[in-house]
Amino acid sequence: MEDREDDLIIDLGLPVIFDGVSNTLLYSDIVKDYPVGGMISEYCRLHPTEIKDVILDCSNIFREPTLDNLSVFFDEFNKKLLKKFDPIISIMILVEIFNNTYDWYNMEFGDNRKKLFDELNNTNTEIKNFIFEDTTINQPGEENILQLILSMYLGFAQSYVNTKYLFTEVIKCLEMYDETKDQKLIDTFISMYTQYIDFQHIDYRIICTENGFESLYTIKTSMSLLLFEMANCIKKETTFVKCINCGEYFVPDGRKDTLYCSYISPQNDKKTCKEIGAQITRANKEKTDIVTGLYRKTYMRYKMKTRRNPYDKEVKRKYNELTQGIKEWRNNLNQGYSTVEEYLNWINKF
C-alpha cells in the first residue's frame, strides 16, 4: 500500500486526489489540501510576465536543446518556480512548458517543427515582443535552450490568457443579479465543455493509500484545470470571493462573507491579506476621505469663482486644471504611484 506522501506522479502533470469534497495536491514532497475551486483561484493569481525572469535566471540556457541538457534545465527550472510561486502556479507553469517541449522533441525534424514555430510567430504581437525583448532572441526557434523555452513560454502565455478569460467570464455570471444570470452561466459552461473539449488532458487512476482506494487525477493543461474545477464547482455550489485588498478571487475556507484571502498581501510579503487587509482598508478610506473632502471644498470655491467671474480666463484655466487633474491624482493614489502628501502639495496650490 502506498503512502499519500509518496511520489505518485504517473505522468508530468498536476497530481490531485479528489474525494468528492476537496482536492489534495500531491507533488514531490508537497501535500496540500484545497477546497473545490481553490486550485483554479490560486492559478489565476498568476501574472505571466513574472515567468520571464525565472527562465533567464537559469544556468546553461545557451546550450544545445538536447535531451540531457533539457533535463538539467527543467530540474533547475522546477526548483526556481517552486521557490517563487504558490504550488499550483509553479507546477502548472512547469507542466505546460515541459509538455510543450516534450511534444516538440517528439516531432520529426523539418516541416512539423517549422509549422510549430511559424504558428507561434503569428501569435499576439504584444506578448511575443515582451517575451523576446532583451533576451538576445528575436523570434521562436530551437537554436538553443533559451530560444526553445521562450517559444514554449509564448505558447503557455496564450493558453493561460484564454484560461483566465474564461474563468473571469464564469465569475461574472456568478456575480450577476438579474434574470439572465442562469442562461448566461449555462451558455458559458456549454461553450467550455463543447468548444474546448479537445483541451481536456486529464489522466485518471485508482490508487490505494492508507485511506483506502482514492481517485487520482493528473491534470496536464491550464484549460483542463479550469474544466476540472468548474465541473466540481457546479456540484458543490462553490462561492468565489474577491479579496478587498489584493483584488484576486479565492474560495473562503470558513464564512462565505470573508473579505480577505490568506495569500501574501501586495503591500507586505511577510503578511497575508487576512492579517493586514482591514488595516489597509481603513488607511485607504482615511486617505480617500482626505482627498475627497479637500477636493470638494476646493472645487466648490472655484465653481463659485467661475460663476462670479465668467470672463476671467485665469480662473477658468485653474478650474479646468483642477477638474482634469483630480482624475489622474485619484488613479495615482489608488495605484500607489503618489502619496497623500504629494496630493496635498498639489491641491493647496489652488
**Is residue 99 helix, strand or coil?**
helix
**Is residue 207 helix, strand or coil?**
strand
For residue 316, the number of C-alpha atoms closer than 13 Å in the C-beta half-sphere is 7
- Cα(17)–Cα(188) distance, rounded to whole angstroms? 27
Torsional sign, CA 226, 229, 230, 231? positive
The bridge status of strand 30-35 relative to strand 22-27 is antiparallel
β-bridge partners, 215: 206
Torsional sign, CA 312, 314, 317, 323? negative
Domain segments of the chain: what residues? 1-263, 273-347
Best CA proximity match to 26, nearest among 308, 34, 170, 61: 34
- Cα(2)–Cα(42) distance, rounded to whole angstroms? 28
Q: What is the pLDDT along the chain (350 residues), one digit of tens a residue?
A: 344 444 333 458 999 999 989 999 999 889 999 999 999 999 999 999 999 999 999 999 999 999 999 999 999 999 999 999 999 999 999 999 999 999 999 887 778 899 999 999 998 889 999 999 999 999 999 999 999 999 999 999 999 998 999 899 888 877 766 666 666 666 666 666 666 566 678 999 998 888 889 999 999 999 999 999 988 888 888 889 999 888 899 999 866 668 889 999 888 888 899 888 777 666 666 666 667 777 788 888 888 888 888 888 888 888 888 888 888 877 777 666 777 778 778 888 88
- Burial class (CB within 10 angstroms; exposed 0-12, middle 13-18, buried 19+) of 331: exposed
The bridge status of strand 249-250 relative to strand 241-242 is antiparallel
pTM of the model as a whole:
0.76
Q: Is 239 left (phi over 0), alpha (psi -120 to 50) or beta?
A: beta
